[in-house]
Each structure stands twice: as C-alpha cells, then as structure tokens.
Copies of this chain bind each other. A is one copy, B any other.
Amino acid sequence: MKELEEKIRREGQVRPGNILKVDSFLNHQMDIDFINEMGKEFKRLFSDRPINKILTIEASGIGIACITAQYFHVPVVFAKKSYSINLDGSLYSTKIQSFTHNRVYDVIVSKKYLTPNDHVLIIDDFLANGCAVNGLIELIGEAGATLEGVGICIEKGFQDGGSKLRASGVNLHSLAIIDSMSDNDVIFRSQDE
C-alpha cells in the first residue's frame, strides 16, 4: 500500500535494535482517517474469504481491528495478555514471547467468543518474528475455528515471521513489507497492488 510506505518514510523513525517507531499514527497516537484507508485495503485483500470474526491481541492491534471490522461487518475479539479476574475460567490460552517488552505473556480468549463456526481474520499492527500471530493461530486451532487470513500493517521482512507463515500456507497480506531500514532510509519490498 503505497500511502502506508510514504507515511512510514515521512513519519517513521528508525531506532537502534531494528525498532521502527510509527507512534505518530499507528500505535500510540492513531490517525483514524488513515487507519480507515488501511481497513478498506484489508477488505479488498480478503474480500474472497467468508470472514465472520476478526481476532487481534491487545493493545495496539485493537483499534486497527475495530476500524477494519466496519468494512467486514463482523465483531472483533481481542486476546488478552495475562489473566484477568473479569474473565471466566473457560478459556483458550497460549504463551507468547514479546521481544519488545522482553517477557513472556499468557494470552487468553474466552471459549464463548472463538468457536468451530468462526472463520477468522487475524489483524495486527506489526509482524516481525511472528510470535504474536503464531500464538493467535494456536488459539484458533484450540477452538477448532478456521483461519481465513492474516492482515498486517507493517511486516519486518528482514525477520522470518512472514516467510515462515507464507511457507506454511497461511494467507498473509502485509500492507507494507520492510526489507531493510537504517537511519537514512527504509527499503520496501515491491508487492502487486
């Protein structure tokens, strides 16, 4: 998605440790008009799939998932990190390693909201090593639901999460794939629009 690549070039900041800061529009301050454009693009990319639910993980995926869900006319379910006393004991759970926060999270979804009838699109802001997406795919598997696709805003193509998912047959679309980045420039992988 050219508009996203341009926005990353304009507003993104590359920091040591392969960190790309896009907190001016995506994951701290959120540019809602722009996220609507990404939501429309996800709808275009996954329009051939019988999606009836969008699954994401707290926190920064939630807003993008909610805006995107408007184009699919489906509910959002967000997986929760760590155990919350407001949730039933009746849960699917898995563990996810977060490199950003350097810790392991328990991630849970209530069995009520992920079932064998669900055809699920996973939405998240970033894909790097794939830990979060793989955790969500595990939860979908536990529930006996069907994974219809994975929609990512920004994929770090120089880490192997995306290539492993594609190799395993997952219907993955990333709106922007970064092949390399430095202080001076961000190089995007060319994709058919």
Contacts and interface: CB of A to CB of B under 8 A. Distances in A.
B29 A113 contact: yes
Contact of A32 (B17, B28, B69, B102): B69
Q: In which size bucket is the chain A interface?
A: 35 or more
Nearest to A58: B59
Interface string A29-53: 1111101100000000000000000
A78 B30 contact: yes
Nearest to A77: B29
A20 to B, nearest CB: 9
Contact of A29 (B17, B19, B59, B76): B76
A24 interface: yes
A91 to B, nearest CB: 10
Interface stretch (A2-10, A81-89, A156-164, A169-177): A81-89
Nearest to A59: B58
7 contacts: A28-B110, A58-B62, A62-B62, A62-B66, A63-B65, A63-B78, A86-B100
Given A59-B62, A86-B100, 7 more contacts: A23-B110, A29-B110, A29-B113, A30-B76, A30-B78, A32-B66, A58-B62
Interface of A: 17, 19, 21, 23-25, 27-33, 35-36, 58-60, 62-63, 65-67, 69-70, 73-78, 80-82, 84-88, 100-102, 109-110, 112-113
